[in-house]
């Protein structure tokens, strides 16, 4: 019998972990498949770990990895994929925003068709307002820049076969952007759709700041186009400067020198100075990413796992 690993990154999710376990377990009761729950406690400050321990005691299908501090959801997903033992794995949020009713369908698609992965897309973004709109724009922009095929409304709700899990694990980069990684490894994705579900309990762990950071990380992790933009602007301004020099020289030769033009001069200095700093900033952004990659630090540090005391 095949085995399915359910990977759940949890950061301060004490209110929802138990419900998640029950709802998902019930949904898959009738399926002819062995289950493994793999919860990743991402340095939670609340009782999440305690609840996970209790669940593990009650049901040996439940495993957990507890991080030494908060490493972020991407690190949690990586740890889950690395440690899971299933023939298939599905990544899900703990807050039940990823509709468990789709699980049986996903399993059947992987079992009965050629697809190596099934992912879910959110079709309406009601109840999200500005955030939804910004996210849509971001995905458009991101795909243009990187040539990847990430879908607007794509959630990190995805089931995949062992083949794809192994492919993802080959990408051991430190700056992880899952949506980009899933698209980069290839394997045609079967898309399912679900309505937007409000978080059942607790609060979203994303602040606006962290979302902006995440977006920038997505771009720099999968695209070098901004660097090309820097060179392009450089060339453009060289050409403009060259033309201006010729114009100024000719003008001075024909009409003599005048002292006027101070405001223009100041404007040019500011503009070009600003542009130089902007381009330096882009280079710095990539350099900092390289710095972190070169250090080759581990993606996460586990302080405790369910296998520790066995
Ligand atoms: N999460 C995590 N580490 C973090 C932030 C979030 O493991 O630093 C988990 C969180 O517990 C949840 C999932 O990632 O299971 C999605 O988080 P959330 O629901 O806050 O995000 P949203 O649904 O608003 O995108
Ligand atoms: Mg959520």
In this prediction, residues 228-240 reach a mean pLDDT of: 82
Task: Provide the pLDDT confidence category of residue 87 given band limits of 50, 70 and 90.
Answer: very high
Closest CA to 180 of 140, 129, 231, 223: 223
User: Using CA atoms, how far apart are residues 262 and 67, in angstroms rounded to an integer?
Assistant: 60
Ligand 2: distance of its center to the CA of 304 in Å?
25
CB 218 near ligand 1, within 6 Å: no
The pLDDT value recorded for residue 165 is: 94
pLDDT 10s digits, 14-28: 888 999 999 998 988
> Whose Cα sits closest to atom 8 in ligand 1?
72
Q: Which of 11, 74, 198, 299 is the pocket-test mutation for ligand 1 (most atoms within 8 Å of CB)?
A: 11
Ligand 1: distance of its center to the CA of 262 in Å?
54
The pLDDT value recorded for residue 119 is: 92
CB atoms within 10 A of CB 123: 11
CB 10 near ligand 1, within 6 Å: yes
> Whose Cα sits closest to atom 11 in ligand 1?
10
User: Using CA atoms, how far apart are residues 307 and 304, in angstroms rounded to an integer?
Assistant: 8
CB 93 near ligand 1, within 6 Å: yes
User: Using CA atoms, how far apart are residues 91 and 111, in angstroms rounded to an integer?
Assistant: 17
- Mean pLDDT over all residues of the chain? 85
Q: Cα 77 vs. chain centroid, distance in angstroms?
A: 10
In this prediction, residues 80-107 reach a mean pLDDT of: 91
> Who contacts 257 (Cβ-Cβ below 8 Å, separation ≥6)?
none
Q: Cα 278 vs. chain centroid, distance in angstroms?
A: 25
CB 73 near ligand 1, within 6 Å: yes
- Supply the pTM of this predicted model: 0.79
| 52 close to 45: Cβ distance less than 8 angstroms | no
pLDDT 10s digits, 110-161: 888 889 999 998 877 555 677 777 777 877 887 888 777 777 778 889 999 9
pLDDT at 310 over 70: no
CB 92 near ligand 1, within 6 Å: no
> Whose Cα sits closest to atom 18 in ligand 1?
204
| 83 close to 189: Cβ distance less than 8 angstroms | no
The tokens 């030494």 sit on which residue? 68
- Using N-to-C axis directions, what is the helix angle for 225-255 and 130-146, rounded to 10°? 80
pLDDT 10s digits, 36-58: 999 999 989 999 999 999 999 99
Quick one: tokens of 120?
């879910």
pLDDT at 5 over 90: yes
User: Which ligand 1 atom minimizes the distance to the CA of 13?
Assistant: 11
The pLDDT value recorded for residue 159 is: 94
Ligand 2: distance of its center to the CA of 94 in Å?
7
The tokens 């902006």 sit on which residue? 212
Q: How far is CA 63 from CA 32, 70, 92, 93, 165, in A?
A: 21, 19, 15, 16, 18
**Looking at per-residue confidence, does 147 or 2 come out higher?**
2
| 145 close to 223: Cβ distance less than 8 angstroms | yes
**Looking at per-residue confidence, does 35 or 127 come out higher?**
35
Q: Cα 280 vs. chain centroid, distance in angstroms?
A: 25
pLDDT 10s digits, 151-198: 777 888 999 999 999 999 998 888 888 888 888 888 888 888 888 777
pLDDT at 282 over 60: yes
User: Using CA atoms, how far apart are residues 224 and 227, in angstroms rounded to an integer?
Assistant: 6
Q: What stretches of the chain show up as alpha helix (H) in DSSP?
A: 17-28, 48-58, 73-83, 103-112, 130-146, 162-170, 178-184, 208-222, 225-255, 262-295
The pLDDT value recorded for residue 239 is: 85
CB 43 near ligand 1, within 6 Å: no
The tokens 């698609």 sit on which residue? 109
């Amino acid at each position: 019998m095949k085995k399915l690993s359910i990977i759940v990154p949890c950061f301060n999710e004490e209110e929802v972990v138990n419900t998640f376990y029950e709802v998902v377990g019930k949904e898959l009761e009738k399926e002819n498949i062995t289950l493994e729950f793999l919860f990743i406690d991402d340095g939670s400050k609340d009782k999440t770990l305690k609840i996970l321990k209790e669940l593990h005691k009650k049901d040996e299908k439940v495993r957990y990895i507890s991080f030494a501090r908060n490493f972020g959801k991407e690190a949690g997903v990586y740890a889950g994929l690395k440690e899971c033992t299933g023939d298939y794995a599905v990544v899900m949020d703990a807050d039940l925003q990823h509709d468990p009713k789709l699980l049986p369908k996903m399993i059947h698609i992987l079992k009965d068709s050629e697809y190596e992965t099934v992912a879910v897309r959110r079709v309406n973004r009601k109840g999200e307002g500005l955030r939804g709109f910004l996210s849509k724009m971001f995905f458009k922009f991101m795909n243009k820049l990187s040539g990847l095929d990430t879908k607007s409304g794509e959630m990190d709700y995805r089931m995949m076969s062992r083949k794809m899990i192994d492919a993802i694990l080959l990408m051991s980069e430190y700056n992880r952007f899952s949506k980009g990684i899933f698209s980069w490894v290839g394997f045609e994705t079967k898309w399912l759709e679900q309505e937007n579900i409000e978080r059942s309990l607790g609060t979203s762990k994303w602040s606006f700041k962290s979302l902006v950071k995440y977006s920038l990380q997505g771009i720099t992790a999968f695209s070098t186009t901004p660097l090309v933009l820097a060179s392009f602007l450089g060339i453009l301004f060289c050409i403009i400067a060259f033309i201006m020099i010729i114009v100024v020289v000719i003008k001075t030769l024909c009409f003599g020198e005048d002292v006027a033009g101070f405001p223009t001069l100041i404007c040019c200095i500011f503009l070009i100075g600003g542009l130089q700093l902007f381009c330096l900033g882009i280079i710095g952004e990539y350099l900092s990413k390289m710095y972190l990659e070169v250090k080759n630090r581990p993606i996460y540090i586990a302080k405790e796992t369910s296998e520790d005391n066995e």
